Amino acid sequence: MKAKLRDILKSQKVIVICSLILCVLFLITIFAPWIAPNEPIAVNLTHKLQQPSLDYPLGTDHLGRCTFSRILYGARISIGFAMLIFISALSIGLIIGIIAGYKGGWVDQLLMRFGDGLMAIPSLLFVLGFVGIWGAGLKQVILGLILVQWVYYARVIRGMVLSLKEQNYITAAIISGSSTWTIMKKHIIPNVLPSLAVMGTLEMGWAIMNLSSMSFLGLGVQPPIPEWGAMIHEGKSYIRTHPALMIYPGLMIMLVVVTFNLLGESLSERFGVKRR
């Protein structure tokens, strides 16, 4: 048992290391209020732009807020909402993809052509549109990203359902008297989900990137809420004198996105799942 575990650790180094990093990040996200030394939104102008110290492990920003605490709380927003985007897009994609793949015919054509139409428009354009209607905010950004992202899932899932549908065990299930719903529940969804988990890991990096870039542009998270992209945005006026304000949140984005992508790549290599 122990030898086997060691084998897995050795042969799947990337997967193990990436998973460990992500586990730590998730724990940080959950326990941010207990770890953070200071209030992330407490303004203290007498301590502004300080160097790292025991009180402020990564120094303070232009309003005297603790950079370290802000990064910890920022992880909550970045990772949490990226997951929200991922799960919503996945659910919509799963439902539409399965219906399109299983029903086929004009239902399939209608849903997929509608999806193609949405895909033709970049998500930034949707976000800009929503911001134009309702003003800048996290809700608008999330909506814009989900609206385009589900199409990718739907396409992949539709493809998988199409090939699953040809399997004899689906025919056998029909002949055994199983209803369409039972077939979905017992045969199709369990066979589609593992590949989606792999694809989802890759998509998480994408979602975090996009969320942060929208916030950097000032469209997403509004001050004083800490978010990595928004922190870079706030720090950019001090790039000459205090580059650390941009570097730390930037490094965090890089770490998370690279970890998710590496994990996704090696998982898909390991399990032979093709992306898109």
Binding site for other proteins (CB under 8 A): 167-169, 171-179, 182, 186-187, 190-191
CA atoms within 13 A on the CB side of 53: 11
Contact 147, 88 (CB under 8 A): no
Least Cα distance to 157 among 130, 126, 188, 115 occurs for: 188
Considering the complex, what minimum distance in angstroms separates the CB of residue 165 from other proteins? 12
Cβ contact 199:275 at 8 Å? yes
Minimum CB separation of residue 174 from other proteins in Å reads 6
Q: How far is the CB of 103 from other proteins (least distance, A)?
A: 16
Check residue 274 and give left, alpha or beta (phi > 0: left; psi -120 to 50: alpha).
beta
Which residue lies nearer to other proteins by CB, 177 or 272? 177
What burial class does residue 41 get, using C-beta atoms within 10 Å of its C-beta: 0-12 exposed, 13-18 middle, 19+ buried? Answer: middle
**Nearest-approach distance from CB 214 to other proteins, in angstroms:** 39
Least distance from C-beta 190 to other proteins, angstroms? 5
C-beta of 236 vs 270, nearer to other proteins? 270
31/169 with CB nearer other proteins: 169
Cα 100 to Cα 200: distance, rounded to the nearest angstrom: 20
- By beta-carbon proximity to other proteins, the closer residue of 187 and 242 is 187
Closest CA to 212 of 132, 120, 145, 135: 145
Q: Could you tell me the smallest distance in angstroms from the CB atom of residue 40 to other proteins?
A: 45
How far apart CA 144 and CA 158 sit, in angstroms, is 22
Nearer to other proteins, 37 or 190 (CB): 190
Specify the residue, 19 or 178, whose C-beta has the smaller distance to other proteins. 178
Chain mean position to CA 172? 38
Q: Nearer Cβ to other proteins, position 174 or 197?
A: 174
What's the min distance (Å) between Cβ of 212 and other proteins?
37
What amino acid occupies position 121?
A: I
SS3 call for 56? coil
